[in-house]
Structure 1
Amino acid sequence: MTETASYGQFCPVSMAAEILCARWTVVLLREMLCGSTRFNDLRRGLPRMSPTLLSKRLKELELAGVIQSVPTPAGTSEYRLTEAGEELRPIIIGIGTWGQRWVESRLSLRNLDPTLLMWDMRRNLSTDPLPPRRCTIQFLYPELAPTHRNYWLVVESGDVDLCQTDPGFEVDLLVTSSLRTMTSIWMGLSRLDAEVRAGRVHLDGDPAISRAMQQWLKLSVFAQVERRVA
């Protein structure tokens, strides 16, 4: 166990909680279950977690047999889930499903994070509805500080890259919105077409990419969960 002393109980629930309930551990596992294996990718999915604490949690999970460190030909390491780690998938998905269903949306939308939102969009983006050429889609959140206001998704040869500095390519579509509105769309709390009609989302650029936005953007894996709260 990490920050707190052992529960001192033989119950499997308490023993599992000693491994999983330390701060950041569950969301770290969420990132790994979403496919992140490299330290820097994990950091991008956990932008508010310090590198020191991330290293600490990875070591703890490795000692617990939940993950393993695998050396790469480049001399670095990747972190892979073990069989025990993979068995946590329905548990982590279940926690997210519960949160989407029962946590009041105003509480969810109080925790806005542009880096996490864009990283989630990047790994879920569907390239099929986009033209078979390089496409650059810029997201602009005017109310944020200049360093967090602009993001670019660059799609090329089936790969999607996320840039926080201008990649220098011609922008095919500019999406302008408040961070709250785009987060609400991503989480399925509001609809893209409704937000565009209401003037809260502005799309400027290639009409075909604009019309297909809902198809290539997709939504959070939890967006379809039936909500039980207002």
Structure 2
Amino acid sequence: MTEGSYKQFCPVAMAAEILCTRWTVVLLRELIAGSTRFNELRRGVPRMSPALLTKRLRDLEDAGVLERVRRPGDGEGHEYRLTAAGRDLKPVIEAMGIWGQRWVESEASLQKLDPQLLMWDMRRNIDPTPMPQRRSTIEVSFSDQPAARRDWWLVVEPGAAVDLCSVDPGFEVDLYVATDLRTMTEIWMGYKTAAAAKDSGQMVLTGSRALEDALQKWLRLSPFAKVERMVA
């Protein structure tokens, strides 16, 4: 699977040969988070080339970490499903995230911002319970991003997966969120509260008062946001 071998019998070295090639751990994060289709995985690793994604998926399949299966009801479509060996990596990936949140200096992490990855993470963690029992559309606009990456729409419908659009879906917007990418990332990672961002003028909310008041409940936070940080 790897471009080189450590040539050691040590289990750590042998695991590293499978897991420590470029992008592999990040790809596993997406698979463990529930992405199964090629296009879903691409959205979770937007800076990974399709060719490299294909190679890493094949490598993980050869290593017995995942399997490629036909998608139900689609004779030609496929999904990538973790095997027992792949599912056993969940605490490993979570432990890496916890370590990164606890020990990596936040200013360094905030130099590596990506609106597509942020919105994709937010999409899959939204809790629709506090939201109205009808379709809700939230538009997020990043004032510091170029036009092609500035506006994003979250469409939440009861009983359906939350949809993320980078092109206006044509629905009436219930809540408009105007902010910058760094501020939204700080909120998502638990470095700053939405209330503090609103009070400082770094975030402006317009539209449904109910959605605005419940923002921190339905938006939720990164799964690592509650990890106690050991660096400034």
Equivalent residue for 1:181?
183
Q: Could you list the per-position Cα deviations for residues 124-151 of structure 1 after superposition, in whole angstroms to 9, with x for gaps in the alignment?
A: 0000111111110000001101000000
- 1:53 is aligned to 52
Aligned equivalents of 1:44 and 1:69: distance in 2? 19
What are the within-5 Å matches in structure 2 for residues 34-49 of structure 1?
A: 34-49=33-48
TM-score by length of 2: 0.97
Q: Secondary structure at the match of 1:8?
A: coil
Residue number in structure 2 paired with 1:79? 80
Counting only pairs closer than 5 Å after superposition, residues 12-27 of structure 1 correspond to structure 2 as: 12-27=11-26
CA deviation after TM superposition for structure 1 residue 214, in Å? 0.4
Give deviations 1:184-223, integer Å, cap 9, x for gaps: 0000011111111011010000111110000000000000
In 2: Cα distance, 1:200 partner to 1:44 partner: 27
Over residues 53-97 of structure 1, what are the superposed CA-to-partner deviations in whole Å (9 max), with x where a residue is unaligned?
000000000000000001123121100000000110000000000
Distance 1:17 1:151 in 2: 37
Q: Deviations over 1:103-133 (max 9, x none)?
A: 0000110110000000001000000111111
Q: Which runs of 4+ in 1 moved over 4 A?
A: none
2:121 matched residue in structure 1: 120
* Structure 1: runs of 5 or more not aligned: none
Identify unmatched segments of 5+ residues in structure 2. none
Instruction: Please report the TM-score for the alignment, with normalisation by the length of structure 1.
Output: 0.98
Which position in structure 1 is the counterpart of 2:2? 2
Aligned residue identity for 2:215: M
| Superposition CA RMSD, Å | 0.7
User: How many Å separate the matches in 1 of 2:27 and 2:108?
Assistant: 21
Q: Is the 8 A contact 1:69 1:79 kept in 2?
A: yes
Letter in 2 for 1:118: M
| Aligned-partner residue type, residue 53 of structure 2 | L
Aligned to 1:70: 69
Corresponding residue SS for 1:166: coil
- Whole-Å separation in 1 of the counterparts to 2:197 and 2:56: 39
3-state SS, counterpart of residue 152 of structure 2: strand
Secondary structure of 1:68's aligned partner: strand
